Amino acid sequence: MPQALGQLKETPSQTAGPYVHIGLTPNFLGLTGIYPADLGREMVNDRTKGERITIEGHVFDGAGEPLRDCLVEIWQADAAGLYASPLETRGTPDPAFAGWGRCPADPQSGMFRFSTIKPGPVPFADGRMQAPHVTLWIVARGINLGLTTRLYFPDEAEANAADPVLGGIEHAARRETLIARKAETGAYQIDIHVQGPDETVFFDV
């Protein structure tokens, strides 16, 4: 006779607090000896294919202050538009590219920075091609559930105009919150606002 299985209650959520850094980036906090290096720190090496780029930015709270204790992860396709995932069936992704990275904000400036490659386009669920983009996931004080957004590239205007996700955002002006800007240094910069008049578009995924 099958055993009856009781339903477990959902654990209450709470703000990330300092523990997310202890668990995910211990070396950053000076807690050495757990990992040789914090996971997600290095996305590329000298064998990685594609155009090398830098992505940097800040996460701002509703008062316009940078969140100096936030942690950002990015997820993206490789230069050929393939994901480093066992579910990838369209081809073989670049084995020298991690496909994701993790970076705590600088405790003084609040800036996060990733060294990666520019991703290739990937298909949408209905087969339409999406513009090259990077998915960002943000956790910080006061955020109970991680926030998910995207970064699109300012030098992909034609692809951005045809992108089904950007096109699905009702108010055209809000789409601009997802478009990075090119700095004089060559880095792609994006400011993420969790609240306020310039609030970034976030996705329920």
Residue 200 lies inside a defined structural domain of this protein: no
Residue 20 lies inside a defined structural domain of this protein: no
Residue 94 lies inside a defined structural domain of this protein: yes
Residue 198 lies inside a defined structural domain of this protein: no
33/36 Cα distance (integer angstroms): 7
Residue 30 lies inside a defined structural domain of this protein: no
Bridge partners (DSSP) listed for residue 138: 72, 147
Residue 189 lies inside a defined structural domain of this protein: yes
Indicate the pTM of the whole model.
0.89
Structural domain of 84:
43-193
For 9-43, what is each residue's pLDDT tens digit?
Answer: 877 766 666 667 888 899 998 999 988 999 999 99
Residue carrying the six token digits 């789409």 = 175
Q: What is the pLDDT of residue 145?
A: 85
Residue 74 lies inside a defined structural domain of this protein: yes
Q: What is the pLDDT of residue 7?
A: 77
The number of folded domains in the chain is 1
Q: Please say whether the beta carbons of 72 and 102 come within 8 A.
A: yes
Q: Please say whether the beta carbons of 62 and 196 come within 8 A.
A: yes
CATH number at residue 145: 2.60.130.10
DSSP 180-205: -EE-TTS-EEEEEESSSTTPPP----
pLDDT confidence tier of residue 97, bands split at 50, 70 and 90: very high
Q: Which residue has the higher pLDDT, 130 or 204?
A: 130
CA 29 to the chain's CA centroid: 21
Helix, coil or strand: residue 159:
helix
Q: What is the pLDDT of residue 4?
A: 62
Residue 2 lies inside a defined structural domain of this protein: no
β 188-193/52-60 pair status = parallel
Q: Which of 53, 57, 43 lies closest to 179, judged by CA? A: 57
Contacts of 53 (CB under 8 A, 6+ apart): 115, 116, 117, 118, 186, 187, 188
159/121 Cα distance (integer angstroms): 9
Answer yes or no: is pLDDT of 204 > 80. Answer: yes
* b/e burial code for range 74-102 (CB count within 10 A of at least 16 → b): bbbbbbbbbbbeeeeeeeebbeebbbbbb
Answer yes or no: is pLDDT of 3 > 70. Answer: no
